[in-house]
Amino acid sequence: MSADKIPVTLINGDGIGPEILEATTRVLEALDAPYTWHRFTAGLTAYDQSGDPLPQVMLDDIRHTKLALKAPLTTPIGTGFRSANVRLREEFHLYANVRPAVTLIHGGKFDDIDLVMIRENTEGLYVGVEHYIPIDDDPHAVAEASGILTRSGCRRISLFAFDYAVRHHRKKVTIVHKANILKKLTGLFLETAQQVGKAYEDKLKIEDRIVDNTAMQLVMNPSQFDVLLTTNMFGDILSDEIAGLIGGLGLAPGGNIGKDAAIFEAVHGSAPDIAGKGIANPTALMLAAGMMLEHTNHHHLAAKLKQAIAAVLQQDKIRTGDLGGTASTKEYTEAIIKRLH
């Protein structure tokens, strides 16, 4: 192992995970990215093998490397173990979820999308405080869930978002909330974000918008948005909607950033409907690897990767099925590697 290489915990996952992770590491190796991989498997596959979707050895490794590239992990719906993704974010206090969306394929409905969703990643309705209340012979007669937001958590994500916006030469931050109905829960988020924002008013335009209106405005006139700052569940939902504006989940990367670590992944899940067919689009995970290159100050390599992806999609017109093309994951990956040489 070369001393100047950066160790990265590489987390294999479920469904299309192994296919897109292999494609992404091939591209990083073609780029000569200065990483050395510590390989682990998590999610349903790990659960079936060891009874734990997040093996302790892998968590210990992330504590050491502070950096991970992760394939999607399946979460059982309704029953079964708690989301390994949510647990990972909690374990390493990955409080900021950064999800950029940029138009890569021109000629569609929207040609100029360049948005960044910044989502609070550890609080809100995803804290897992929920239970049933039985009545008579129905054990599930009532379901109750609590959303929990703290002023310190709201302040931390707001500071992150405004600093990010300034650092990336963004012009505007839109605080997205539902403080008309959830007056205390998302009211605290709005109030705190506005207070934090006061120190940035000379550098940024700061506005706020109710989440349902934001959802509509995003499909009517997305170019009015720049950076969006919101709570956990609204950010989860809106980022899939935003992915839809740029051609789908196959093109949407994300980073989970905290004090103790940074974990990069695609926005999408394990896509079990297409797993094992060799047709998954690996671009989202490749772009997440590009975010990791930027995070580790390899901006030149990140730019080279993004240029190669753009050239293959736009000039070579080699695309996977989700983007209307016929290329397999392997053919698409090889086209990118060719562009890198």
Which residues are part of the catalytic machinery? Answer: 126, 178, 212, 236, 240
DSSP characters over 48-97: HHHS-SS-HHHHHHHHHH-EEEE------SSSSSPPHHHHHHHHTT--EE
Which of 96-104, 115-123, 265-273, 301-309 is the region at the interface with ligand NAD (rule: CB under 6 A)? 265-273
Rounded Cα gap, residues 231 and 121, in angstroms: 8
Which of 1-9, 59-67, 98-106, 274-282 is the region at the interface with ligand NAD (rule: CB under 6 A)? 274-282
Q: How many CA atoms lie within 13 A of 95 on its CB side?
A: 17
Judged by beta carbon, residue 237 or residue 311, the one nearer ligand NAD is: 237
Tokens of 245: 């504006």
Q: In whole angstroms, how close is the CB of 32 to ligand NAD at the nearest point?
A: 25
- Contacting ligand NAD (CB under 6 A), which of 284, 301, 302, 309? 284
Q: Which of residues 12-41 bind ligand NAD (CB under 6 A)?
A: 16
269 binds ligand NAD (CB under 6 A): yes
Judged by beta carbon, residue 47 or residue 162, the one nearer ligand NAD is: 47
Rounded Cα gap, residues 314 and 317, in angstroms: 5
What type of residue sits at position 87? R
Q: With contact defined as beta carbons under 8 Å apart, do 201 and 89 qualify? A: no
Q: Which of residues 134-163 bind ligand NAD (CB under 6 A)?
A: none
Residue 15's nearest CA partner among 293, 335, 266, 325 is: 266
Judged by CB under 6 A, the number of residues near ligand NAD is 20
The answer for residues whose C-beta is within 8 angstroms of residue 251's C-beta and 6 or more apart is: 101, 104, 105, 243, 281, 283, 284, 287, 323
Q: In whole angstroms, how close is the CB of 263 to ligand NAD at the nearest point?
A: 9
Pairing of strands 67-70, 6-12: parallel
| Number of C-beta neighbours around residue 33 at 10 A | 22
Which of 30-38, 147-155, 201-209, 273-281 is the region at the interface with ligand NAD (rule: CB under 6 A)? 273-281
179 binds ligand NAD (CB under 6 A): no
270 binds ligand NAD (CB under 6 A): yes
- Contacting ligand NAD (CB under 6 A), which of 55, 100, 247, 250? 250
89 binds ligand NAD (CB under 6 A): no
| Number of C-beta neighbours around residue 326 at 10 A | 10
- Contacting ligand NAD (CB under 6 A), which of 42, 280, 288, 305? 280
74 binds ligand NAD (CB under 6 A): yes
Local structure of residue 14 (DSSP, 8 states): S
- Contacting ligand NAD (CB under 6 A), which of 11, 59, 243, 274? 274
State the residues that interact with ligand NAD by CB under 6 A.
16, 72-75, 85, 249-250, 265, 268-274, 280-281, 284, 322
